[in-house]
Amino acid sequence: MTDLRIAVLGVGVMGADHVARITSRISGARVAVVNDHLVEKAEQLAASIPGCSAVADPLDAIADADVDAVVLATPGGTHEEQLLACLDQRKPVMCEKPLTTDVSTSLEIARREADLGRPLIQVGFMRRFDDEYVRLKALLDGGELGNPLMMHCVHRNPGVPAYFDSSLIVKDSLVHEVDITRYLFGEEIASVQIIKPTSNPGAPNGVVDPQIAILRTVSGRHVDVELFVTTGVAYEVRTEVVGEHGSAIIGLDVGLIRKKGPGSWGGTLTPGFRERFGPAYDTEIQRWVDAVHSGTNVCGPTAWDGYAAAAVCAAGVESLETGLPVDVQLADEVTSAEQRGVRG
Ligand code: ISE
């Protein structure tokens, strides 16, 4: 089997991470091309990887004859054009969330891919590859908790980049709980409400943080999410499902607990999402590489999942304004896409 030749577009935080993992931990693939709007950064990175070149234009990188597949880690605003180019070139693509930055273009992308008759786009909702979430899903699917009734989630970041605003807390952070709710419960989200508690004085001026999101699924299940992205403490993602016959919780961060000195004990806090979900990203990319080799191209969240998440987040952003529950508007194809079994 010859190595899959991957172009990584955008080599900032996530892209650089993917370049490192493909180069050192993923089998059956190598980074053939890198691209970034900071051309010098891409050139420096390419120079450190055998057989890799820097291509200045992302569309040229996608069209490059020496590229078999693409990892998109560019800013969301560029995804539409780059995904369309991947579809035109029939090249499999692992797209970091968001699929695109608005609902209508996300739907357009999912429809274009469907018209081609074969999946090419996987969306980077990495939690589906995390060992704890996989075990929680298996527990629910095995029926041990009976019918799941509620889910309580905590999503805390020690801090976020300076460009973060209140709506990004919905579209960039809550989007993970949106995807995991659809994944764990296997049904769509019908409405979203965002509640605004007293703001953290440490949050940048005008940014509503924390937020509480209330999601209601089509069958009436309740999901609440505490979103707090300026805690200054640690990366904390907890998920507790409560069912008819008990409950299950993940994300307690209980690694090694050490006792030291008089009167003190404790463990280590997780600093960020790359540390918390590092093994999940490795699994996600390895399985995706294997799926591309096998010709199935997609082994996880699809373009339809990316579109559905965008639709739920759009309702969330509307609720941020009004404080009221907002119904999610979904195109009919979402259900049929799931029935075709393309959902991860
Ligand atoms: C970031 O983009 C992520 O994907 C992280 O998982 C999330 O915790 C963070 O809030 C986002 O900004």
Calpha distance 121→89 (Å, rounded): 12
Amino acid symbol at 339: Q
- Cα gap 87→202, rounded to integer Å: 43
Q: Are residues 295 and 323 in the same domain?
A: no
Neighbours of 124 (CB within 10 A): 24
Distance CA 276, CA 264 (A): 25
Q: How far is CA 251 from CA 69, 219, 246, in A?
A: 33, 26, 17
Distance CA 90, CA 109 (A): 13
Q: What is the mean pLDDT of residues 136-153?
A: 98
pLDDT at 264: 87
User: Could you tell me the distance, in angstroms and rounded to a whole number, from the CA of residue 128 to the centre of ligand 1?
Assistant: 14
- Closest C-alpha to ligand 1, atom 7: 173
pLDDT for 260 equals 85
pLDDT of residue 253: 87
- Model confidence band, residue 338 (pLDDT cutoffs 50, 70, 90): low
| Angle at CA of residue 303, ends 299 and 305, nearest 5° | 85
pLDDT at 262: 87
- CA–CA separation, 234 vs 239, rounded Å? 16
pLDDT band (50, 70, 90) for residue 335: low
d(CA 231, CA 14): 22
Cβ proximity of 300 and 344 under 8 Å: yes
pLDDT of residue 342: 44
pLDDT band at 337 (very low <50, low <70, confident <90, very high): low
Q: Do 88 and 144 belong together in one domain?
A: no
Neighbours of 24 (CB within 10 A): 7
Q: Which of 133, 168, 273, 274 to mutate to test the pocket of ligand 1 (most atoms within 8 A of CB)?
A: 273
Q: Is 228 in the pocket of ligand 1 (CB under 6 A)?
A: no
Same domain, 179 and 46: no
**Amino acid 255: pLDDT:** 84
User: CA 192, CA 125: separation in Å to the nearest integer?
Assistant: 20
149 and 256 in one domain?
Answer: yes
Whether 137 and 192 share a structural domain: yes
What's the gap in Å between 273 CA and the centre of ligand 1? 7
Atom of ligand 1 nearest to the CA of 155: 8
Q: Is the CB of 157 under 6 A from ligand 1?
A: yes
Residue 168, domain CATH: 3.30.360.10
CB of residue 160 inside a 6 A radius of ligand 1: yes
Mean pLDDT of the chain: 95
Quote the pLDDT of residue 344: 45
Q: Note the pLDDT tens digit of each residue in 280-305.
A: 999 999 999 999 999 999 999 999 99
- CA 295 – CA 43 distance, rounded (Å): 31
* DSSP code for 343: -
Q: What is the pLDDT of residue 302?
A: 97
Across 27-44, average pLDDT: 98
The reply to whether 328 and 260 lie within a common domain is yes
Contact 313, 175 (CB under 8 A): yes
CATH of residue 12's domain is: 3.40.50.720
C-alpha triplet 17, 21, 22: angle, nearest 5°: 115
**Average pLDDT in the 32-60 region?**
98
- State mean pLDDT over 60-84: 98
- Testing ligand 1's pocket by substitution, the residue of 127, 155, 157 carrying the most ligand atoms inside 8 A of its CB is 157
Total Cβ atoms within 10 A of residue 146:
11
Domain extent at residue 295: 4-126+279-302
227 in the same domain as 122:
no
The residue whose CA is least distant from atom 2 of ligand 1 is 172
| Residue 332 and residue 319 share a domain | yes
Residues 253-282 pLDDT 10s: 888 999 988 888 888 999 999 999 999 999
CA dihedral of residues 241, 339, 313, 113 (deg, nearest 10): 140
Tokens standing for residue 140: 């629910």
Q: Could you tell me the two tokens for 204?
A: 């940048």
**CB of 166 closer than 6 A to ligand 1?**
no
> Are 197 and 325 found together in one domain?
yes
CB of 211 sitting under 6 A from ligand 1:
no
Q: How far apart are CA 93 and CA 8, in angstroms?
A: 10
Residue 336 confidence (pLDDT): 66
Answer whether 172 contacts ligand 1 (Cβ < 6 A): yes
Find the 284 Cα to ligand 1 centroid distance in Å: 16
Q: Which tens digits make up the pLDDT trace of 200-252?
A: 999 999 999 999 999 999 999 999 999 999 999 999 999 999 999 999 999 99
Domain count, the chain: 2
**Co-location of 329 and 207 in the same domain:** yes
Please check the confidence at residue 339 and state whether its pLDDT lies above 70: no
Residues 116 and 138 in one domain: no
pLDDT of 15 > 70? The answer is yes
pLDDT at 74: 98
In tens, the pLDDT along 296-333 reads 999 999 999 999 999 999 999 999 999 999 999 999 87
Contact present, 124 and 94 (Cβ < 8 Å)? yes
In terms of DSSP bridges, do strands 148-156 and 222-228 run parallel, antiparallel, or are they unpaired?
parallel
Cβ partners under 8 Å of residue 344, min gap 6: 122, 128, 183, 298, 299, 300, 301, 302, 305
Select from 156, 176, 236, 239 the residue to mutate for testing ligand 1; criterion: most ligand atoms less than 8 Å from CB.
176
- Domain check: are 152 and 115 in the same one? no
